[in-house]
Every structure is written in C-alpha cells, then in structure tokens.
Amino acid sequence: MNRPDWDTYFLLIAKVVSSRSTCIRRKVGAVLVKDHQILSTGYNGAPKGIIHCEEAGCLREKLSIPSGERHEICRGSHAEINAIAQAAYAGVSTAGCWLYCTHEPCVYCTKALLNCGCSRIVFINPYPDQIAREMIAQSGVEIICIPEDKLLNETFSIGGKT
C-alpha cells in the first residue's frame, strides 16, 4: 500500500479545510504543523460573529477590485491569519511551525507567518505578490510550490483498498 508523503498529506488536508471557506472569490485552507502534528487550521472568511461573505456580499467584487489588490477592502480574514489566530486562542506556540496552504501567502499573511516563527511554507497555487516573495527570500524561510497536477498524480489508498 502506498502512503502519501507528509507534504502531500498536509496539502490534501488544507484542501479539505478550504471547503469551509465562505469567501465568494477564492477558497483557501491553511494548516500549521510542527513535528508532523497539526497545531491549527484556518480558512478564509468573515471573523467570528460577523455575517458571512456569502450572505453579505463582497464589496471587492462590487467595486471590481482585481485579485491581490486592496486587501483592506475585505470583511474576511485570510486562512493563514485564521490558523495563527486559532493557535493563539488555544495557547499553542507556533515557533518553528510549517505552513501548508492551498495558495501562496500574500504580503499580509507573509508578515504574520514570519512574526509567528514559521520556518517552512508549502503551497499549491501561486499568488502574484512580489513583495511577499521578496520578504520570504530575505527571511531564509523555505518555500515550496507543489502544483495541483503533481499533487493529484500521487497514487495512494484512501479509506480502504486501492
């Protein structure tokens, strides 16, 4: 029986986490991991107690703001920020953690990840944020892209026989 490697395993979990997203534009899931153990998960959407974007609508969509621009005009929190917040809420240290995410982090999430002690970032879908990429390069944090087609070409057993 074939088993997925750790990167594939946690990226597939991030994809499942993304299914909880309430964002109209993009479903993103994040998993913070240390020593092959999940510390926390997060998906993008409105903060606790706030009407979901699916119900309230998307101001960025209404204003035709392109993806990757004007993040401040968004009622939602990004998946990576939510994963960090969940760890903090539970009193879990993120020092030395690894991030597995469906999308490459934006500059806001990159800053938070660097400040929380993340030492490795693995993602599926690239995101066009040059400033975030420059910050990662300067920080020395390892960053790896495993494209969707490579991820889905892996053969392993899920829930029984292959």
Domain boundaries, the chain: 6-152
What's residue 155's pLDDT? 61
What's residue 101's pLDDT? 99
Edge-to-edge order in the sheet of strand 142-145: 37-43, 29-34, 98-103, 120-125, 142-145
Read off the pLDDT of residues 57-70 as tens digits, 9 standing for 90 and up. Answer: 888 888 988 877 88
* CATH architecture of residue range(s) 6-152: 3-Layer(aba) Sandwich (3.40)
2 or 145, which is more confident? 145
pLDDT surpasses 60 at 162? no
Q: Mean pLDDT throughout 87-116?
A: 98
Helix %, strand %, coil % for the chain, to 5? Answer: 35, 20, 45
Does residue 154 have an active-site annotation? Answer: no
**Calpha distance 118→94 (Å, rounded):** 7
Q: Give the active site residue among 54, 69, 72, 80.
A: 80
Sign of CA dihedral 39, 45, 49, 55: negative
Q: Which of 53-62, 93-102, 128-137 has the lowest mean pLDDT?
A: 53-62
User: pLDDT class for 2, splitting at 50, 70, 90?
Assistant: confident
53 or 114, which is more confident? 114
